[in-house]
Amino acid sequence: MTNSKYIQDFCKLLQVNTVSNGGDFATFHKVLAQVFPQVHAHLHKVDLSAVAGDRDCANVLLFKWEGISHDKPLVLMAHQDVVPVNETHWDYPPFDATIVDDKVYARGAIDCKNTLFCTMMAVEELLTQGIVPPQDVYLSYSPNEEISGAGTPIVRDYFVAKNITPFLVVDEGGALMKADGKTYHKDMLMVGATEKGYADVKFVAKGNGGHASNPPLNTPIARIAKFVNYCENHQIFRPRATKIAKKMVYKMADALPFFKRVGCKTIGVTGGLVAPIACSKLAKRAGAMLFSTTIAFTTTGGGTVRNAIPNEAYVTANIRFLQGDTSKKCFAKLTKLANKFDLEMEVIKFREASGVVDINGEGYKLFQSIANQIYPDAVVCPFLMYAGTDCRHLQPIAKHAIRCTPIALTYEQVALMHGNNENLTISALDNCIKFFKQLIQQNK
Ligand SMILES: [Zn+2]
């Protein structure tokens, strides 16, 4: 059963393969022009070539819709690209947009052609109604978010060159999490308020190699193993309840049944005491994502011959910086630790944790008030994001930046993001489009 008037059009977007590398973006743009004729007739498609330099901007889409006033520009973001698929693990072809019961199955259904579709459809419908927005509206769609491409940095450079300070930027991130009836008794709109930082770091152990029949102590592989083991058994980075983490736990409590709610509210208030316990080994580090910078070992390698000790072995670690933990401070700590195990450390890439949107500020309040209109029964909850979004590129030049697509998802659906059988409940599109229409009209 298809229970939204939008589903046919949404499927057209899903049926174009837009995998970051090698996707068919030309066809995708043709489909957009066909599905959103008003947007293409009335909005100004910004030429980015002057600011792109030697970066490829051919598939970056930035539309400007001129409003009555220009002092509070609204930027609605999404990305056109999707992550690759392993078709053999899908129940339906990932670019067919198969509808089963009330869901549509396709790569990009929730990450994040839904965001692109709903933002563009909101503008399309307002144009059809003859509405002029109170403020300028920009639609910004990168073709390479999933590979940390230059799409959004080019858009940022355009804003900087034109002296445009976005009042509010809204990108993918949180969603309306449907109550599961077990843990959560209420729907929660998770409003991404910030995202953690990121680093890939390589640790190398060097030695003299030798014959495996005469093994010395502390071979490269043994040192790597000891180091990894040490990191798993010790809390490397100090646990801390940031203001945003406390606020998140405190608000989430409203969706819990009574006893859990009281417990969670207490954590929200006394987070400072709870953080070290929640990050402890005893608690299986369950709270580390929220209360600490984390380190996870991701790739490793060493010898190639089974009867020889290698000259070198390595392991790479993926690190997520908590707000307030600078890369400098964390790298200094890791260097000291690496020295202890006689390892060399090499930072492959990193970025700092992003700033936190002011949840008492005008931008967040506006978003929250529309949430209360569209989803009156939901708990609106600020959210510390663990994953990365393109929003981080525009946040430094914007007054307010929010990471949330206000669309209903189940916990099962969120778990399928970047995985197999990604799907969206079709009827969820309607409220999300309504939300963006209100946001555009109420940003005065
Ligand atoms: Zn995404």
Domain boundaries, the chain: 7-195+355-442, 198-351
Residue 389 alpha carbon to ligand 1 centre in Å: 7
220-253 tens-digit pLDDT: 999 999 999 999 999 999 999 999 999 999 999 9
For the segment(s) 198-351, the CATH number from 2.60.120.10, 3.40.1160.10, 3.20.20.60, 3.30.70.360 is: 3.30.70.360
Whether pLDDT at 426 is above 90: yes
Whether pLDDT at 404 is above 80: yes
Average of pLDDT values for 379-400? 95
Report the amino acid identity of residue 184: Y
Whether pLDDT at 273 is above 80: no
DSSP state at residue 150? S
166-208 tens-digit pLDDT: 999 999 999 999 999 888 999 999 999 999 999 999 999 999 8
Q: 7-195+355-442 with 198-351: one CATH topology?
A: no
- What does the alpha-carbon distance between residue 197 and residue 421 come to, in Å, rounded to a whole number? 29
- What does the alpha-carbon distance between residue 431 and residue 408 come to, in Å, rounded to a whole number? 8
Cα separations in angstroms, 337 against 224, 226, 333? 12, 11, 6
Tokens of 244: 């945003």
Residue 139 alpha carbon to ligand 1 centre in Å: 16
Residues with CB under 5 A from ligand 1 (ion): 111-112, 172
Angle between helices 113-128 and 7-14 (to 10 degrees): 130
Sign of CA dihedral 131, 134, 140, 146: negative
Cα separations in angstroms, 36 against 8, 57, 119, 125, 131? 13, 22, 11, 9, 16
Report the amino acid identity of residue 315: V
Tokens of 123: 């503008």
pLDDT score, position 277: 85
Residue 110 alpha carbon to ligand 1 centre in Å: 8
Q: Which of 351, 341, 354 is nearest to 401 (CA)?
A: 354
Residue 180 alpha carbon to ligand 1 centre in Å: 23
Report the amino acid identity of residue 227: F
Residue 79 alpha carbon to ligand 1 centre in Å: 7
Report the amino acid identity of residue 364: Y
Whether pLDDT at 1 is above 60: no
Angle (CA) 215-297-310 rounded to 5° is 25
Residue 2 alpha carbon to ligand 1 centre in Å: 25
Tokens of 13: 């977007």
Residue 434 alpha carbon to ligand 1 centre in Å: 21
Sign of CA dihedral 356, 290, 369, 429: positive
Residue 159's pLDDT band, with cuts at 50, 70 and 90, is: very high
Residue 12 alpha carbon to ligand 1 centre in Å: 19
Residue 10 alpha carbon to ligand 1 centre in Å: 17
- What does the alpha-carbon distance between residue 442 and residue 444 come to, in Å, rounded to a whole number? 6
- What does the alpha-carbon distance between residue 393 and residue 39 come to, in Å, rounded to a whole number? 25
Q: Cis peptide before 57, with omega less than 30 degrees from 0?
A: no
Residue 146 alpha carbon to ligand 1 centre in Å: 7
Of the chain, the percentage scoring pLDDT greater than 90 comes to 89
Residue 369 alpha carbon to ligand 1 centre in Å: 25
Residue 300 alpha carbon to ligand 1 centre in Å: 28
Residue 128 alpha carbon to ligand 1 centre in Å: 29
Residue 195 alpha carbon to ligand 1 centre in Å: 13
Tokens of 314: 């390595």
Cα separations in angstroms, 257 against 187, 250, 274? 13, 13, 20
Residue 339 alpha carbon to ligand 1 centre in Å: 38
Report the amino acid identity of residue 44: H
Report the amino acid identity of residue 444: K
Lowest average pLDDT, out of 51-65, 241-255, 336-350, goes to 241-255
Sign of CA dihedral 406, 435, 367, 266: negative
Residue 409's pLDDT band, with cuts at 50, 70 and 90, is: very high
Q: Which of 49, 72, 44 is nearest to 60 (CA)?
A: 49
pLDDT score, position 331: 98
pLDDT score, position 74: 98
69-115 tens-digit pLDDT: 999 999 999 999 999 999 999 999 999 999 999 999 999 999 999 99
Residue 274 alpha carbon to ligand 1 centre in Å: 32
pLDDT score, position 69: 98
Q: Is 172 helix (H, G, I), strand (E, B) or coil?
A: strand
- What does the alpha-carbon distance between residue 437 and residue 125 come to, in Å, rounded to a whole number? 8
Do residues 104 and 14 lie in contact, with contact meaning Cβ atoms separated by under 8 Å?
yes
Residue 428 alpha carbon to ligand 1 centre in Å: 18
Residue 215 alpha carbon to ligand 1 centre in Å: 49
Do residues 390 and 171 lie in contact, with contact meaning Cβ atoms separated by under 8 Å?
yes
Whether pLDDT at 25 is above 90: yes
Residue 418 alpha carbon to ligand 1 centre in Å: 9
Residue 171 alpha carbon to ligand 1 centre in Å: 9
Domain 7-195+355-442 architecture: 3-Layer(aba) Sandwich (3.40)
In terms of pLDDT, which residue wins out, 280 or 142?
142
Query: If residue 336 lies in a helix (H) or strand (E), which one and from where to where?
Result: helix 327-340
Residue 119, phi then psi, degrees to nearest 5: -65, -45
pLDDT score, position 2: 54
Whether pLDDT at 375 is above 90: yes
Residue 1 alpha carbon to ligand 1 centre in Å: 27
pLDDT score, position 369: 98
Mean pLDDT of the chain: 95
Q: Which residues pair with 320 in a beta bridge?
A: 294
Distance of CA 422 to the CA centre of its chain: 16
Residue 93 alpha carbon to ligand 1 centre in Å: 20
- What does the alpha-carbon distance between residue 59 and residue 80 come to, in Å, rounded to a whole number? 9
